[in-house]
Amino acid sequence: MSKPDNREDNVQHLQNAVQNTIENYREAEDYLEEFGDEIPAREKGQIEEKNERRKHSISGFREEIQDESKHQQNS
């Protein structure tokens, strides 16, 4: 028998994911600012690409938070 779908804490989990992703984004930006001139171009490009993906993830998480909040209000 499967577990019932308990979505009560989804918003909190998503908010934590947003915070963690923002923190990682900022750390990467700080790293690039401090060492960007010293690291190989390939590594710098990889970090920049990862931060672009992080921006998209943050946006997606925020949309999910809105959806989950609406779902909880309607329940």
What number of helices (H) and strands (E) belong to the chain? 2, 0
Residues of the chain with pLDDT under 70: 1-6, 75
Predicted TM-score (pTM) of the model is 0.84
Backbone φ, ψ for residue 52 (5° rounding): -65, -45
Q: What per-residue confidence (pLDDT) applies to 44?
A: 98
| 21 contacts 51 by C-beta, under 8 angstroms | no
Q: Where are the beta strands (DSSP E) in 1-75?
A: none
Q: What per-residue confidence (pLDDT) applies to 2?
A: 67
Which is it for the CA torsion 27, 33, 37, 43, positive or negative? Answer: positive
Written as six digits, the tokens of 65 are: 């938070």
